Amino acid sequence: MADQVKIMILSGVREQGKDMFAVQVNDEIFVLDAGLKYPDSSLYGIDLVIPDLDFFEKYGDQVVGIFLTHGHADSIGALPYILRQYDIPVFGSRLTIELAKITVKRENKRIKNSLFHVIDAETEIEFKNANISFFHTTHSIPDSLGIDVHTPAGEVVYTGDFKFDPSAAPKYRTDLDRLAEISQKKVLALLSDSSNAEASLPNVSEQEIGEYVTNVFRNATGRVIVAAKASNLIRIQEVLNAAHETGRKVLLTGRDVAKIVRTAMDLGYLYVPKNLLMRVKDLSTTPDNKVVILETGQMGEPLNSLQKMAKKRHSMITIHENDLVFIATTPSHSVETVVAQTSDLVYRAGGTVIELGRAKHTSGHATGRDLQMLIDILKPQFVIPVIGEYRLLEVHRDLAIRAGIKKENVLITRNGDCLDYDFKQKKFNLTDPVPGEDIMIDGSGIGDVGNIVLRDREILSDDGIFIAVVTIDRRKKKIIAQPQVTSRGFVYIKANHQLMNDCIELIKKTINNNFEHKKFDWTEIKQDVRNDLEKFLYKKTNRRPVVLPVVMEVNQNRHRAMQKRSGKNATTGKNNEHHSVDVKKSGKKIVKKD
């Protein structure tokens, strides 16, 4: 049987986050990363978004492992939901595996430690059809690795999140010698990080960032409140170093930072000088100019916590006069508005704000020049831009073409694409797609919220809901009780009595018309009420609330006939000689004793 090599784009293109790709060699599938993304403002009420788990339902018996590049949520965040249903081995560096276990334990208290396997940059794993090896990369978290899949058609290299920084500490440095070694084996395809492809200026070295943070702390006259992502360990180390050099104590807030810092300390990836950390109760006795508060917020997002501090709603910290808020993370485009709103609130509370991203050009992702440098080192036959929104993939394509890659060999893909390598024609062809939809997590529900529910939530957020309740007797073809109407988020009822009364009359008219001209049908009568109300309300208000008609039935004669035939109460079994049923105008069934 001829060899088969496929590259599957499961998630992580034309979007930011939720990275998951796969390489299939004959009957074995190697999954690269399993991340999530946090929802934007258009996903009302959604907590997280993960890749399509139908892939594992369809191909799970062929998946030999999930291989992780680093310990950020965009690489490991989907693991709890995958491992809940499927026993798939997980491979990653020591720190990555420990962070993956923390992530999985949040959702699954009983995890199978036997599924987790620690590897390093020197590891090569032999499978039946392919070998997997790794190489060090530079990112904002130590122990980051790139992945090399050795296939019969050549090497398939996946970078994960990376950048080049020659001045980086040894635990963060990209292994250029290893990349040169891989290039000697004929690189078939390069799946490379596009997140920062638009950047034309080089990233400032982390050594320079560390010096800048120290100067910020030294010049601050009051408390310094640092907002950083819990998993950005390189930035957390710089904050700890700056606090130590300027004689300040550090208070860690947020569950994420406590767990991650403790894990990184235990593994030797984070150095915390002795007596540097403080407790909440020590705040009142420590001078403001000797305090650093490191805030990461829930799930590593510090901005919401900063807003609570500024509004005096935070459980421990309140921003006051002379506080300096140092936003030590570079926000994505989608949260720039939130950063501006947060800064405004801080200033209103009496504090000031410094944003690292405005003062220094820094990112954990490769610039355009870095991407071209990687292409120059590996000399791949095909380049597949991944990890980034569509415009970034296009920028990456232009960079690759200028670096010498043929235009037709730079492949812009979408989630769900499956690229099958043709050994004769030496090119990739699109074949039947693989599952590539979004799975939305809302509370404990996984995938039970889809586009229809989101559309309803959007409408509810725009124009509210209008509820109409009416009770009918379909045998007599009459309305038994006065229709009841109410609304939420649509209009203020007390100020719109006439509108509500008009709606009641419209409901009566609609139902009577239905009785006169149509054969009775529950669905049709509710649809008539809904349609007429929607048109009427839009005409009167230019708003389109969600109209929810509730039609109930009371059949008085049939109920009495059943009682006479049985002579007993259907519920209790007792004689009904001294009971009768009366239906009042409210439509409720009232049992009266004689």
| 70 among annotated binding-site residues | no
Q: CA-CA distance, 147 to 133, in Å (whole number)?
A: 6
Are 10 and 23 contacting, i.e. CB atoms less than 8 angstroms apart?
no
| 150 among annotated binding-site residues | no
The answer to whether the Cα torsion of 25, 28, 30, 36 is positive or negative is positive
Token output for 590: 């009232």
| 361 among annotated binding-site residues | yes
| 364 among annotated binding-site residues | yes
| 42 among annotated binding-site residues | no
Q: CA-CA distance, 303 to 345, in Å (whole number)?
A: 11
**Looking only at Cα atoms, what is the longest distance across the chain?**
99
Nearest C-alpha neighbor of 456 from the set 486, 484, 483, 489: 489
Are 325 and 351 contacting, i.e. CB atoms less than 8 angstroms apart?
yes
Which of left, alpha, beta for 507 (phi over 0: left; psi -120 to 50: alpha)? alpha
Sequence-ordered list of residues with C-beta below 8 angstroms from that of 592, at least 6 positions apart, any chain:
579, 580, 582
Q: Which helix (H) or strand (E) holds 472?
A: strand 465-473
DSSP assignment of 31-71, as one string? EE----B---TTSTT--EEE--THHHHHHGGGEEEEE-S-S
Report which residue type is found at 469: V
Are 182 and 135 contacting, i.e. CB atoms less than 8 angstroms apart?
yes
Token output for 74: 């965009």
Q: CA-CA distance, 441 to 290, in Å (whole number)?
A: 42
The binding site for substrate consists of 361-365
* Binding site feature residues: 361-365
